[in-house]
Amino acid sequence: MKLAEAPTLSLEAGASHLTEVLRGYASAEGLPPSLREAWQAHARQAHLEALFLDQKHKEDWKYTPLSFLRRPWKLAPPVQASPPVSLAFSGQAAELVLPSEDLPALRSLPAPTSVWEALLTPAASLQHYALSQEGYFVLAPHGTGELSVHAATLSVAPGTQAEVLVAPSGSGFLLVRLHLDAGEGAQVRFFLPAGGGAHDLFVYVLVTARLAQEAQVETYDLTASVGWKRSEVRVYLSGVQAQAHLHGAAIVGQGSVVDHAIRVEHAVPHTASNQLFKALVYKGGHSAFQGRIFVHPHAQKTNAYQSHKALLWEPGAVAYSRPQLEIFADDVRCTHGVTTGFLEGEMLFYLRARGVPEEQARHLLAQGFLEEVLSRVPQEALRGWARQAMGFAE
Amino acid sequence: MLTIRNLHVSVEGRPILKGLNLEVLAGQVHAIMGPNGAGKSTLAAVLAGREGYEVTEGEVLFEGQNLLDLGPEERSHAGLFLAFQYPVEIPGVSMVQFLRAALNAHRAAKGLEPLDTADLMALLREKAALLKLDPSFLTRSVNEGFSGGERKRAEIFQMAVLDPKLAILDETDSGLDIDALKVVAEAVNALRAPHRAFLIITHYYRILQHIQPDVVHILADGRIVRSGGPELALELEEKGYEPLILPA
Ligand SMILES: Nc1ncnc2c1ncn2[C@@H]1O[C@H](COP(=O)(O)OP(=O)(O)OP(=O)(O)O)[C@@H](O)[C@H]1O
Ligand SMILES: [Mg+2]
């Protein structure tokens, strides 16, 4: 039997097709006029239509294979394509600020008791997105060829904490656009796991965050096995003592693309940021990392750190790494290091000389390489999930 | 136990060992001394099976087996242990994980079941105490952030855990303070046994005062140029290499 091949578009046609699809989503066609306006307003905020416009000319997409553009994606049914929402977290409970209370898709979704419980429940029984006291999460099982869109604005009240989980599974294209406004002293964690072996899972997560004084954002991007995943995180540190801690660990297998585009802007004095990303790349895998640190002229006493390490498992693995430091203040501590290379023979020999067989030694070293990131994931359930998904469970 | 005959080894085409002969019997302790660059670590590396060393002539028998035919892990399973001159850091892999894998591979090679966690931890704690290492070091990544002296002690700790037949100590005494040297020497002495042998590579007489060798060799320019009893080490300490290496 011959499988029908998916029709392929040119990159240009694919980009304009996706732009059209997102325009359709943003226009909220088919909704009653009373809802449409609010929906449109939220969608405008997310700038969805602009995402795919001639991105292949953009510097930011230089090292990102765009094969996903060749597919004629169609918008998933409304339940999966959630309405753009606004969420306010105030500590006691999260409040969902909807365009209207009448949105049938959202109302019918019960919130599981815990985000973490949800992650560990088999995907089929899950809702596509939900809200709990702890935070907001998107878990989107899709159909192949379908594009599922989630756009949300999160505002976290001063001094409170929230967690956001984006855990796609299944196949299809998940587009998540989140904007965070973190009030003074607020603490927000984003967990962005993806994995489970599906090679027709495409994920594009774009998070923008604006942090007030003493606010803190953490991201944990854990990728075990996907077709294509791009995580774009842009943090704007706009209050003194604001901090961003961004982490990533990825296993990039044959035919898989994992792309991180990070931008941290230090806009005021006394802010700190930290980027720690690691990718283990197999033959036929493609890893890309762009880490931009921008320090404004008056942002003295900035402390910025960046590390990206790609471990090429074998010849035929591809990793691009591009640090961009733009520092316009003079009293700044900024350290960065990017390394790309093969497994160190010295380590392998050390393990083998103690009796560990070569295969097992390589496996231990792979685990050790990513463990530096995994051990920092502050949620045991997620840590366990990642180790399992990456093949490191003991 | 170990027989080395006419061993010639090149690194990147350059001859380093040039006809080395050595016979180590079970129960013995041999010391190898020699100037920098003489080929001592090269000998250790070739015995342990490091890549990049080309044996151009000669043979090495370990308990009757042709050692050079075996991979590094198989040599370890056969009972060979090398304490490295420069132990490498292994980030993200804890000492427990590492030694569990190593010990269980040794056991598998002997047809034994893996150790259960309780027995493993008991063994590791006992040997850590022997080397006066804080138990917390078991959960730290292998050699990561260890001081020079801690790394050397950790090597001897691993030796005690793996219970080898032949242990090669490549300058384990370098970088140890006086107390640590005693701790290491005591651990080695405690392991001296009729079925076990040691090859101690060192620059200093000091460690040999704690661990009495049966034979002392001088390795220079890729060969053993002199062998003698413990008094040879003392003579070296007093006169230096030159008069002892130069043909009379
Ligand atoms: N991997 C290598 N690549 C190139 N040269 C090497 C390599 N390993 C050893 N050599 C060379 O072989 C010679 C012997 O080195 P080796 O490390 O065996 O000396 P050593 O006797 O252990 O010295 P030391 O007392 O300083 O530890 C040196 O000249 C060294 O530069
Ligand atoms: Mg040496």
- Asked if A345 reaches chain B (Cβ–Cβ under 8 Å), the answer is yes
Residues of chain B with pLDDT under 70: 246-248
Question: Average pLDDT, whole number, for chain A?
Answer: 81
What does the pLDDT look like over A214-270, one tens digit per residue? 999 999 999 988 899 999 999 999 999 999 999 999 999 999 999 999 999 999 999
**Of A65-69, A79-83, A147-151, A312-316, which range is least confident?**
A79-83
Ligand 1 site-directed mutation target among B7, B8, B11, most atoms within 8 Å of CB = B11
Taking CB atoms and an 8 Å limit, are A365 and B90 in contact across chains? Answer: yes
- Asked if A360 reaches chain B (Cβ–Cβ under 8 Å), the answer is yes
User: Residue A77 domain-assigned?
Assistant: yes
Band (pLDDT 50/70/90 cuts) for residue A130 is: low
- Asked if A8 reaches chain B (Cβ–Cβ under 8 Å), the answer is no
Taking CB atoms and an 8 Å limit, are B105 and A360 in contact across chains? Answer: yes
Nearest to B176 by CA among B161, B165, B191, B186: B186
Supply the pLDDT for residue B70: 96
Q: List the shell of residues around ion ligand 2, using CB closer than 5 Å.
A: B 40-41, 85
Burial A356-370 (b: 16+ CB within 10 A, else e): bbeebbbebbbbbbb
- The proportion of chain A whose per-residue pLDDT surpasses 90, expressed as a percent, equals 45
B99 residue type, one letter? L
Question: CA B236, CA B218: separation in Å to the nearest integer?
Answer: 9
| DSSP-H helix ranges across chain A | 11-27, 33-46, 104-107, 115-120, 345-353, 358-374, 380-389
Supply the pLDDT for residue A57: 59
Q: Which of B75, B88, B105 sits opposite A357 (nearest CB)?
A: B105
**Of A67-76, A121-130, A133-142, which range is least confident?**
A121-130
Taking CB atoms and an 8 Å limit, are A352 and B90 in contact across chains? Answer: no
What does the pLDDT look like over A297-323, one tens digit per residue? 999 999 999 999 999 999 999 999 999
Q: Report CA B101 to chain centroid distance, whole Å.
A: 20
Q: Could you tell me which chain B residue has the CA closest to the CA of A352?
A: B73
Residue B242's contacts (CB-CB under 8 Å, 6 or more residues apart) are none
Q: Which ligand is nearest to the CA of B222?
A: 1
User: Residue A384 domain-assigned?
Assistant: no
User: Residue A219 domain-assigned?
Assistant: yes
User: Residue A371 domain-assigned?
Assistant: no
Q: Which atom of ligand 1 is nearest to the CA of B34?
A: 21
Q: Which domain holds residue A326?
A: 3-345
User: Residue A373 domain-assigned?
Assistant: no
Atom 17, ligand 1: which residue's CA is nearest? Answer: B41
Q: Spell out which residues of chain B touch residue A353, defining contact as CB-CB under 8 Å.
A: 48-50, 72-73, 75-76, 82, 84
What does the pLDDT look like over B162-218, one tens digit per residue? 999 999 999 999 989 998 899 999 999 999 999 999 999 999 888 999 999 999 999
Supply the pLDDT for residue A35: 64
User: Residue A363 domain-assigned?
Assistant: no
* Distance in Å, alpha carbon of A252 to nearest chain B alpha carbon: 19
Q: Which of B71, B106, B158 sits opposite A352 (nearest CB)?
A: B71
Question: CA B137, CA B144: separation in Å to the nearest integer?
Answer: 10
User: Residue A42 domain-assigned?
Assistant: yes
Nearest to A257 by CA among A42, A69, A51, A17: A69
Taking CB atoms and an 8 Å limit, are B88 and A350 in contact across chains? Answer: yes
Nearest to B180 by CA among B200, B203, B162, B207: B207
* Distance in Å, alpha carbon of A369 to nearest chain B alpha carbon: 6
Ligand 1 site-directed mutation target among B41, B53, B199, B224, most atoms within 8 Å of CB = B41
Band (pLDDT 50/70/90 cuts) for residue A145 is: confident
Supply the pLDDT for residue A334: 94
A92 residue type, one letter? Q
Band (pLDDT 50/70/90 cuts) for residue A1 is: very low
Q: Where are the beta strands (DSSP E) in A35-184?
A: 74-75, 85-89, 94-97, 129-131, 135-138, 141-142, 146-156, 161-166, 169-170, 172-182
Supply the pLDDT for residue A8: 84
Taking CB atoms and an 8 Å limit, are B49 and A352 in contact across chains? Answer: yes
Supply the pLDDT for residue A101: 47
Give the angle subtended at the CA of A260 by the CAs of A344 and A187, to the nearest 5°: 110
Q: Which of A346, A357, A370 sits opposite B73 (nearest CB)?
A: A357
**Of A138-147, A309-318, A321-330, A349-358, which range is least confident?**
A138-147
What is the sign, positive or negative, of the torsion defined by CA atoms of A251, A372, A119, A138? negative
Residue B239's contacts (CB-CB under 8 Å, 6 or more residues apart) are none
Average pLDDT over residues A357-376: 95
Band (pLDDT 50/70/90 cuts) for residue A384 is: confident
Question: CA B165, CA A17: separation in Å to the nearest integer?
Answer: 70
Ligand 1 site-directed mutation target among B33, B40, B54, most atoms within 8 Å of CB = B40
Q: Which of B50, B73, B141 sits opposite A358 (nearest CB)?
A: B73
Q: How many domains does chain A have?
A: 1
Residue A114's contacts (CB-CB under 8 Å, 6 or more residues apart) are A132, A134
- Asked if A7 reaches chain B (Cβ–Cβ under 8 Å), the answer is no
B162 C-alpha to center of ligand 2: Å?
Answer: 23
What is the sign, positive or negative, of the torsion defined by CA atoms of A123, A125, A129, A133? negative
User: Residue A387 domain-assigned?
Assistant: no
Pocket of ligand 1 (CB under 6 A): B 11-12, 16, 34, 36-42, 52, 85
Instruction: Identify the DSSP state of B150.
Output: H
Taking CB atoms and an 8 Å limit, are A353 and B106 in contact across chains? Answer: no
Average pLDDT over residues A74-98: 57
- Asked if B162 reaches chain A (Cβ–Cβ under 8 Å), the answer is yes
